[in-house]
């Protein structure tokens, strides 16, 4: 394979990788929004301008917490705040937790 063909193949692979990443991000956003609705998060948290005020707003939560902290708050909130009323969502599938963490980190 000559250099031009190798460079073209690498460029093509990179473009496909970026496209797949974009699709995965869109899927995680849709899944994150779906989970926030299905889990009733807006009963306690503001999100997109509506919801409860018992817990902190989820708007811009990604600017306050990194992905590790988000994961911990979702799966074991009492380890972060012993007095929290938030239930643990450690029963969710790993891919659901990952989708929530990725979605919220982008907020």
Rounded Cα gap, residues 89 and 107, in angstroms: 20
**What would you report as the CA-atom Rg of the chain, rounded to the nearest whole angstrom?**
18
DSSP, collapsed to helix, strand or coil, labels residue 46 as strand
**Residue-wise pLDDT tens for the chain (107 aa)?**
565 555 555 655 544 444 445 556 678 789 999 999 999 999 999 999 999 999 999 999 999 999 999 999 999 999 999 999 999 999 999 999 999 999 999 99
Backbone angles phi, psi at 49, to 5 degrees: 85, 5
Could you tell me which residues are beta bridge partners of residue 57?
Answer: none
What local confidence, expressed as pLDDT, does residue 18 receive? 45
DSSP, collapsed to helix, strand or coil, labels residue 95 as helix
What local confidence, expressed as pLDDT, does residue 14 receive? 47
Burial per residue of 85-95, b for 16 or more beta-carbon CB atoms within 10 angstroms, e otherwise = ebeebeebeee
């Amino acid at each position: 394979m000559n250099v031009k063909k190798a460079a073209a193949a690498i460029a093509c692979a990179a473009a496909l990788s970026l496209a797949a990443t974009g699709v995965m991000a869109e899927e995680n956003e849709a899944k994150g929004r779906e989970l926030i609705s299905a889990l009733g998060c807006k009963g306690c948290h503001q999100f997109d301008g509506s919801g409860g005020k018992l817990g902190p707003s989820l708007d811009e939560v990604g600017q306050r917490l990194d992905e590790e902290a988000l994961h911990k708050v979702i799966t074991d909130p009492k380890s972060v705040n012993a007095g929290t009323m938030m239930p643990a969502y450690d029963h969710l599938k790993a891919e659901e937790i990952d989708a929530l963490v990725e979605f919220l980190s982008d907020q």
